[in-house]
């Protein structure tokens, strides 16, 4: 080609993201024939078919997979260059931010975060969403602004992250429980009735791996899908819940917490966002606020 149309970079970015000529056309508000012509131009420019037929759909070639991350970053950088630099006026900022996290984050850090947001930007609203998995699609498609959690293999390589705090798993029982007194041993821990969280990728499974190497296993009485129900059951019964200490501190008020009698590594809770929001002044302000609130929040007494 004599000259390269840089608009084709946006087209290529959307095509690789959608994996469909029809889907890309709808997203860019073009006709399917126009998108097909754009794909033909891209194939000519790159010397590669980029997307090839596989059954009823299209799959990217190795060259397309190689280009995907580079093209995405170029488009993000171009958008940042062309976006006007606006001075952030917090008192008049009107915006709703969606924050996706596992159980306990809103209860533990929400009150202070909401108070800080209300004091600095009274028209801003926060929407806390329950996190069911580690799929980063909601960050990519813009339905979620920020997400908290542990960095995992399912997290997209382009996703930005900053550490919020270190956490560890602890045992939680009601006040007056027999495990609230005396020296905790692996044997005492496993023989008590346990409520266990069953969720894909949950790091609490490390507890069972360590116990198995010791020839022990927890006495599982009930299973639930999240930390909130596990803590509620521990509060109203003689069962033990094993949960992250700082992340669920707000849910564990009034309960007795104890250090696990087996060696389980601490882990980092991080804040995630999509790179297209790196330079957004309002988003940067909220990220900074969340980091400050999480780092300064005291650990509730047990």
| Domains of the chain (ranges, CATH numbers) | 7-82 (1.10.10.10), 90-159+275-296 (3.40.190.10), 169-265 (3.40.190.10)
Report the pLDDT value the prediction gives residue 298, as an integer from 0 to 100.
61
Residue 300 pLDDT > 80, yes or no?
Answer: no
Q: What is the pTM of this model?
A: 0.66
| Confidence bin at 67 (pLDDT 50/70/90) | confident
Looking at residue 66, its pLDDT comes to 87
* Residue 287: other Cβ atoms inside 10 A: 20
pLDDT band at 161 (very low <50, low <70, confident <90, very high): very high
How confident is the model at residue 200, as a pLDDT?
A: 59
pLDDT at 176: 94
Predicted pLDDT at 202: 61
pLDDT of residue 197: 87
Per-residue model confidence (pLDDT) at position 1:
43
> What residues contact 267, with CB distance under 8 A and at least 6 apart?
150, 166, 167, 168, 203, 244
Give the per-residue pLDDT at 171. 97
Q: What is the pLDDT of residue 85?
A: 57
Q: What percent of the chain has pLDDT over 70?
A: 92
Read off the pLDDT of each residue in 212-236 and give the average, rounded to a whole number: 93
Residue range 163-192: average pLDDT? 95
Which range has highest mean pLDDT (61-65, 130-134, 260-264)?
Answer: 260-264
Stretch 79-106: mean pLDDT: 83
What integer best gives the mean pLDDT of the chain?
88
């Amino acid at each position: 080609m004599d000259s390269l149309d840089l608009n084709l970079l946006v087209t290529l970015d959307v095509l690789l993201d959608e994996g469909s000529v029809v889907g890309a056309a709808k997203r860019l508000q073009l006709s399917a024939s126009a998108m097909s012509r754009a794909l033909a131009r891209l194939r000519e420019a790159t010397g590669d078919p980029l997307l090839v037929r596989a059954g009823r759909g299209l799959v990217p070639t190795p060259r397309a997979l190689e280009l995907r991350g580079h093209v995405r970053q170029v488009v993000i950088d171009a958008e940042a260059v062309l976006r006007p630099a606006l001075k952030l006026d917090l008192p008049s900022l009107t915006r709703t931010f969606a924050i996706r996290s596992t159980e306990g984050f809103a209860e533990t850090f929400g009150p202070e975060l909401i108070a800080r947001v209300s004091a600095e930007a009274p028209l801003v609203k926060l929407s806390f969403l329950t996190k069911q998995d580690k799929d980063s699609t909601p960050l990519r498609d813009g339905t979620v602004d920020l997400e908290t959690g542990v960095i995992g293999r399912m997290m997209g390589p382009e996703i930005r992250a900053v550490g919020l705090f270190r956490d560890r798993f602890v045992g939680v029982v009601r006040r007056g429980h027999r495990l609230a007194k005396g020296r905790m041993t692996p044997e005492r821990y496993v023989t008590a009735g346990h409520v266990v969280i069953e969720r894909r990728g949950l790091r609490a499974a490390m507890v069972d791996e360590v116990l198995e190497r010791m020839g022990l296993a927890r006495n599982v009485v009930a299973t639930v899908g999240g930390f909130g129900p596990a803590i509620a059951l521990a509060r109203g019964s003689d069962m033990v819940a094993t949960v992250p200490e700082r992340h669920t501190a707000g849910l564990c008020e009034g309960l007795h917490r104890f250090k696990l009698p087996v060696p389980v590594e601490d882990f980092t809770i991080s804040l995630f966002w999509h790179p297209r929001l790196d330079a957004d002044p309002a988003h940067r302000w909220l990220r900074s606020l969340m980091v400050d609130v999480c780092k300064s929040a005291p650990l509730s007494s047990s």
